[in-house]
Structure 1
Amino acid sequence: MRIVVRRAPTLVRSLLAFQFFLTSSGSSTCNDTVAIPWHPSWFQSRDDLYCKNICLGRGDYEQCCVCNSCTSWEGEEIDLFIEELSVTGPNVVLPHHSVNDSNVYQIYRGYSEMKELPINICNNITDTKLEKLYSAFADISYFRERIVRINLEFNEIKILDDISCLRRLDELNLQYNRLTFLSNTSLTNLTFLRTIQLKGNKLIGIEPNTLSSPDLYIFNADISKNELETQDVTNMYTAYTFCEINFASNAIKEFVNEGNFILNTSKKYGPGFLNLQNNAIEKFPDLKTLLNLNDLNEMGKAWKFGFDFQGVPVICDCSLEPFMSLAEDIIESIWIGYFEVKCAAPENLKNQLIPKIDPSMFVCEYNAESDCQTPQCTCVDEPNKNTLFIDCSNANLTKFPTIPLSAYSTRISLNLSSNSIKNIPNKPFLSKISHLDLSNNDILEISEDTARKLENATLIDLTNNTRLLKLPQMFQYRNACSTVLGNIVVDCDCESLWISEWIKSKGCTTSQFYCNIPEQGIVPAGAFHENDLDCVQESFLYIWISIVLGSILLIFLVFGWLLRQFRYELLIVYLRMRRTFRKDNLVYPNFKFDVYISLDENNDQVRDWVNRHLEKYLTYSGYNVFLPYRDIPYGSVRDTEIINVLKDTRTLLVVLSNTYFGTIDDERLFTECEWKYGWTNFRKERQRNIVLINFDHISSREIKHAQIKAFLRVGCCIDFGNHDRNIMENIRSKLDTRRRKRRAGQNYYRTFSQSRECTKSALSYNDIEMNSS
């Protein structure tokens, strides 16, 4: 059998492939001759799985193996005995032999009257009498890691306790018991669980994410013949490829998303098969809302599932149309035969096969009073046309009706003809209107904002609204042929000159209306011309006003651009002026340090000049200097130390080199931190200072850092050049000398400044390099 699919949507191609391998699977047994070892791509840690040979050579090999897998130990399980302590009392598991790591074990007691799981499956016996009686047998902790199967079918168990200790459990069979609720913690950590059978219980609720936990790799889950009325979307799939999740023969009416699950379109869910036969689902679920999608097509990118709705009384209305349109290209290939699904309603589609129905027939007729909101109106939602049709003609309305919301259509066709409506409300729903019929009403005015919201309307009919005397100027951007204004007379003045060109632009006859021109009377709108009015003076004044306003606006724009472009330069000039004109009678705080030297510590030439010349000069000049790589205590957090020291430092002295903001991450972070906090202090406090030494003769064009670029532009820096020999004097002049400490050692400073070392310190970078060599 071969199925060829052309131009099929992603979702549908996956469903076809999955339908094919489900219907063609064989019934081979699992042994060395008919199966080979198999490691699922998402479950590499498991090494005991085999795949039957019927899957070899298939394009859907991994999917086929999920439905045709078996284990290397299948048929070799050793029974663990169950002791019934009383007719209605608890049970315990009593092994009759010692544990063997090479064996696997199972717990089986079917067709009995067990009321609960054995009490020692995952817990030790706490009853003193029972502990003494069964102390030699009741400890099964050594077996828990080797129990692979539990079969307690046809009993009377009401609660599924936490069995997460059974990490190697492969199959859990509790069909035909009395379970009423399934908690999402019951199966936690059961990563080896392939099959869970809960058929024929009394389940009325399953917590969200019970089957879809990322730690679960369930291949088959049978929850058929229970009493579920709602189902959470998170229990309709597993996080990986699965074979079948069976919810057949429940009482499911709707699907919910209580955990607010959001379909991740970059992730793949499935593929797998979801059986929903013989449930009470009438409304096909709104998958877009249910899965929190922006577009239903996103579902096809991620959700690779097949669905079986046989025996479901589906109402073929607008809720079904989006899903059917998604698979429109090959819908017959999916539904015919394998999915014999027929409509249960409405009457005109009853018992018709869904694939045979034209999608345009899937419509919803809203209830007039509840869904349509206004009893006098009829509302029909046609998703195939993406339009909600609302007809309120001849309904004796004096105002706009309440507009209902549609979950399937984004456009509104609104017929309000032959009523007594005076105003159009400025409401958001106007932007959704594609067709608005207001003919034969009493509209008085249409505001510019209202006309702007109606820009998506392909047709607006205002025929016979004789009280409408002015058109909104926004109409000039509409197609005149789609704006019907028959039998109305509007006042045409100098502000209405656009009307004549608007009418002539398309040559439409549908918009024949009239202009009432001062001193001339009523003429066809197409005959209206500016020569009919004395608008020259107004136009001239309007032009000059426009020029003046435009010039003012241009000035503001240029000023704003300059202000933004040179904001740091202006700020630096202002801060310098604030320092220059400060009041002498102000009391300034005493700082612990006068100067903090910030430099690229990995630049050998910069560090050598700072160590040999700059630091010594400043120290002997009476300044208390902080040098970070020398003075920060070993083992301390450097960022914290930088912040604390700069809080108590008057001047940040930056030795700017090409590598100041270099590519070495740690050093770049330190210099950035030093600059950041130094700049913050300088900006906020007038007693703070920043001095910049341009060590490598960097131009402002080479700097990307906005604040340092500003310093270079306004000339607030010291060039490290050999044009003069007083660089140290320049540095000292830039520092705040008002509170500089005076030392007795200043005599040494004068000797120092006259020495060869001082002369050498004033040399350029090239001089230093030459002297060093």
Structure 2
Amino acid sequence: MWSSKNFLIIIILSVKIYEICSKNEIDGRFSCDFFSDPKKNYSLWTPKDQERKDLYCPESIRLSLRDKRIFCSCCSIPRWKYEQIRIGNLQLEYLNRRGKSFLLDSENQAVLHRIQKENGFLSALPINYCQFTTIVEIFLKGNLIEDLPPLTCLSELDTIDLSYNQLRFISNTSISGLKKLRRIDFSYNLITEIEPFTFNNIDHVIMMVDFSFNKLRTLDITNMVALKGFCFASYQGNGIKTFSNKSKYKVLKNQTFGDGGYVNLAFNKIQRLPDPAEFGMSFSDYGKLAFYKYLFDVRNNEIVCDCGLETFLRYALHVKDHWSIAGESLGLFCYYPSNMQEDLPLNDLLTPLYLDRLICNGTMPMPKGCNTYFQPSQNRIVINCTSADISTVPSINMTEFLQSIPYEETKTQFVNASVHAIFRNNSIKELTNTSYMTKAYVIDVSSNNINKLRVNALLSLPRYVDMDIGYNPELRYLPRHLQRMESERIHMKGIRLSCTCEDEMYKWLPEWLPRNVSFSPHCYTGNEEMYAKNVSADILGCTTGIKDFVLNAVIPLLLASTLITTLFLVSYVYRYDIYVLYRQYRHKYYSGDEMYLYDIYISMDESHPTLMRWLVSKFLPFLQYKGYKTYVPTRDLTPGEVKEEGIVEAINYSRCTIVFLTSGFCEEDNIWMEVEWRNAWKHYKSDLCSKLIVVNFDLVRFQMIPYRPMKAILRFQNDTLFSSTKFIKDITKKIGSPIGKKRIHNANRKPTFDISQLEPKLFSPSTRWQTGFTSK
């Protein structure tokens, strides 16, 4: 519900409200005479986004349409007042000295009624107030009323004044449903809590609400801003410190707000404004509350001017280009820190120079003399330990620092901020790695006693870091890891390096350093001193030795031989997988059918009853129906023929071998299945036109398979699962067309099939489902 333009920034625009109505700065009430027509003419006025059609607004001059809506929110009157309908005063009678009372109607001719009893000792509303539904005004100022009962029965109620009583709690059901209620005055009571959504709902918004000078310490945000326009809501003089959102209210993307109003929060103890993240918004949202609609008066509060306030003001810099605000401070008074306790004009407030002063100091432990703060205007976290007499790079608990930052959006900016670490003029001996090094944008360790730059610290620093390591007289060596950074951003003035052949800085430092030699450190070579930019192997007298030979020749050779050996070992271990993968993805061309006698050779466990039953009754008849010529050893071996020779011959004359993998295949005594598999794999390797299909009939576990080639086929899913619902379709697709049927090469083209090539006998009823168990 809030944005950077929607709350504090809107304080800036009080000038606009002051142009509309003259305001008494103490009680928040408005005078409507200044802009009214001197003739006192009224016209019918309908509030924006409300259904009321019984309000009349004075004719005004010099006001725009939007300004007139604001003016009418404060100055309109109900129809009964415009038409001067007679209001009867109800007579109030006490029932006892404890303040109990009831009402009498002494004026029977009145259409509407009023309750008025000020400075009495009433302890509650009259017991029979609901009998008079025509009550439009209640004036019970200065009594002893402690509770506010539900007033929903008073449907015509327009105004209620219970100021100077002893109310302590206001329920959101007390005045719900009163669509004609415009004015509430509960000031000068003892109220400590107001329930959420007490004064605004979807149907109606009360236009004038006064809760001044009560005992509120927390204010719910739903009672500050309405979805429809209103005149004012005053909470001044309560001692409010914080804001709540008990109903977990979130602003919806399609919600729109009215013309706003004046919210008086002066003379409280407010330190920080509500966090927009609690309402599902960010500071940069502009569509919910336009910055010129609301005026939030926060004068005489304990405003903390830190990084959280900067987040609000940052989006208000352009306001002074659109509004006349010269010389107006509008109550923005910094209570903390003490060096900012000044009432600044807005022209000074909304400047980058002022925003730079809005920082959050770190609260975590720090070395004496160090100062850490977050400066959101520059998007940086500054760690300043200049002349702090420290000997090591300090460690900062960024998590603890983050917890002290207000507002979720400011926390996000903190997380993304860069770190500026200033450690100049100390006694630091080593640049060590710390948690904030990865976010460093500037790091200054000049004028220290640094003799070593830790490699892990250099690797943690970003490539774009601006680092000053100058004037460290004990720094003699620069690690090569410094080369990953931009040399133009590394300041090394006043460094005297010790350049030798052993440290090998001559190999990279001259090329890395910037061309401008004034930024170059000095090199002492043993005989003379020169710019490090000019040092070379010839000047140092370095020769290529065994170390260079090892680095330049032996190591690359070892790496190459290691790579070749690794590739050879991998190729050997996975030789079957590589071959199966090759056969799976190569383009296959058939050399002709004349070399084959059979389409399919079927290898199976003859002792497996389920498999045999399925083959005989289902699978073989289907293949015969499709025109495939099959060879089954159990059926087709000639009596007296040598079994192994018959198996080898049949496999070699078969275009496709189907192996039904069962649990019996893994048993050692199954000799013939082993013979079949060995010859099938041999034929698969020798004949590139052949096919080898594995059907995992028993869903045998991968680890139980004894043959590595079969594992390779399974690994690349070149097998066919018997459990698949598309088994028949998959198996025929892998086998291909029967021998003798027209076929084209499988070269990334859709296959064609001539139905005239089918044998007519395949469709005869007598042969369709024959088992086909005949000798070959």
Secondary structure of 2:518 counterpart? coil
Aligned residue in 1 for 2:725? 688
Unmatched runs of 5 consecutive residues or more in structure 2: 1-7, 24-30, 571-580, 586-601, 612-719, 731-745, 770-776
* Match for residue 87 of structure 1 among 97, 114, 118: 97
Aligned residue in 1 for 2:296? 307
Secondary structure of 1:239 counterpart? coil
Distance 1:149 1:282, change over 3 A: closer
Aligned residue in 2 for 1:180? 168
Alignment of 1:522-601 (within 5 A): 524-527=531-534, 538=551, 585=608
Aligned residue in 2 for 1:396? 390
Deviations 1:191-217 (A, max 9, x none): 444332211112233344444544541
Aligned residue in 2 for 1:503? 513
Distance 1:98 1:383, change over 3 A: same
Q: What is the rounded CA distance, in whole Å, between the counterparts of 2:180 and 2:560 in structure 1? A: 78
Higher relative contact order (CA 8 A, sep 6+): 2
Distance 1:467 1:512, change over 3 A: closer
Q: What is the rounded CA distance, in whole Å, between the counterparts of 1:78 and 1:727 in structure 2? A: 111
Percent same amino acid among aligned pairs?
19
**Residue type of the alignment partner of 2:142:** F
Distance 1:365 1:320, change over 3 A: closer
**Residue type of the alignment partner of 2:145:** I
The question of whether the paired residues in 2 share the 8 Å contact of 1:194 and 1:220 is answered with yes
The question of whether the paired residues in 2 share the 8 Å contact of 1:470 and 1:490 is answered with no
The question of whether the paired residues in 1 share the 8 Å contact of 2:155 and 2:178 is answered with yes
* Match for residue 226 of structure 1 among 214, 221, 229: 214
Aligned residue in 2 for 1:52? 58
Larger CA deviation: 460-469 vs 25-34: 25-34
> Structure 1 residue 378: deviation in Å?
2.8
Alignment of 1:160-175 (within 5 A): 160-164=148-152, 166=154, 169-175=157-163
* Match for residue 199 of structure 1 among 187, 200, 206: 187
The question of whether the paired residues in 2 share the 8 Å contact of 1:114 and 1:156 is answered with yes
Distance 1:514 1:99, change over 3 A: farther
> Structure 1 residue 218: deviation in Å?
2.5
**Residue type of the alignment partner of 2:394:** F
* Match for residue 47 of structure 2 among 40, 43, 46: 40
Aligned residue in 2 for 1:333? 324
> Structure 1 residue 254: deviation in Å?
4.2
The question of whether the paired residues in 2 share the 8 Å contact of 1:514 and 1:524 is answered with yes
**Residue type of the alignment partner of 2:428:** S
Aligned residue in 1 for 2:267? 279
1:239 pairs with 2:240: no
Distance 1:385 1:748, change over 3 A: closer
**Residue type of the alignment partner of 1:67:** C
Aligned residue in 2 for 1:464? 472
> Structure 1 residue 72: deviation in Å?
1.7
> Structure 1 residue 503: deviation in Å?
0.9
Aligned residue in 2 for 1:20? 19
The question of whether the paired residues in 2 share the 8 Å contact of 1:166 and 1:190 is answered with yes
The question of whether the paired residues in 2 share the 8 Å contact of 1:485 and 1:510 is answered with yes
The question of whether the paired residues in 1 share the 8 Å contact of 2:327 and 2:347 is answered with no
Secondary structure of 2:389 counterpart? coil
Larger CA deviation: 318-327 vs 65-74: 318-327
Q: What is the rounded CA distance, in whole Å, between the counterparts of 2:381 and 2:488 in structure 1? A: 25
The question of whether the paired residues in 1 share the 8 Å contact of 2:506 and 2:535 is answered with no
Larger CA deviation: 248-257 vs 76-85: 76-85
Q: What is the rounded CA distance, in whole Å, between the counterparts of 2:765 and 2:39 in structure 1? A: 98
Q: What is the rounded CA distance, in whole Å, between the counterparts of 1:253 and 1:149 in structure 2? A: 33
Q: What is the rounded CA distance, in whole Å, between the counterparts of 2:755 and 2:610 in structure 1? A: 39
Secondary structure of 2:148 counterpart? coil
Aligned residue in 1 for 2:369? 376
The alignment of Structure 1 onto Structure 2 pairs a total of residues equal to 574
Alignment of 1:626-705 (within 5 A): 686-689=723-726
> Structure 1 residue 392: deviation in Å?
1.9
Secondary structure of 1:50 counterpart? strand
Secondary structure of 2:296 counterpart? strand
Q: What is the rounded CA distance, in whole Å, between the counterparts of 2:488 and 2:252 in structure 1? A: 45
Aligned residue in 2 for 1:115? 123
The question of whether the paired residues in 1 share the 8 Å contact of 2:329 and 2:344 is answered with no
Distance 1:157 1:459, change over 3 A: farther
Aligned residue in 1 for 2:668? none
> Structure 1 residue 375: deviation in Å?
3.9
Q: What is the rounded CA distance, in whole Å, between the counterparts of 1:251 and 1:195 in structure 2? A: 23
The question of whether the paired residues in 2 share the 8 Å contact of 1:167 and 1:191 is answered with yes
> Structure 1 residue 114: deviation in Å?
1.9
**Residue type of the alignment partner of 1:49:** L
TM-score by length of 2: 0.58
> Structure 1 residue 420: deviation in Å?
3.3
Distance 1:490 1:715, change over 3 A: same
Aligned residue in 1 for 2:671? none
Larger CA deviation: 76-85 vs 487-496: 487-496
Aligned residue in 2 for 1:647? none
**Residue type of the alignment partner of 1:326:** Y
Q: CA RMSD in A?
A: 5.7
Q: Choose 1 or 2 for highest CA Rg.
A: 2
TM-score by length of 1: 0.58
Aligned residue in 1 for 2:650? none
The question of whether the paired residues in 2 share the 8 Å contact of 1:55 and 1:65 is answered with no
> Structure 1 residue 481: deviation in Å?
3.2
Aligned residue in 2 for 1:353? 344
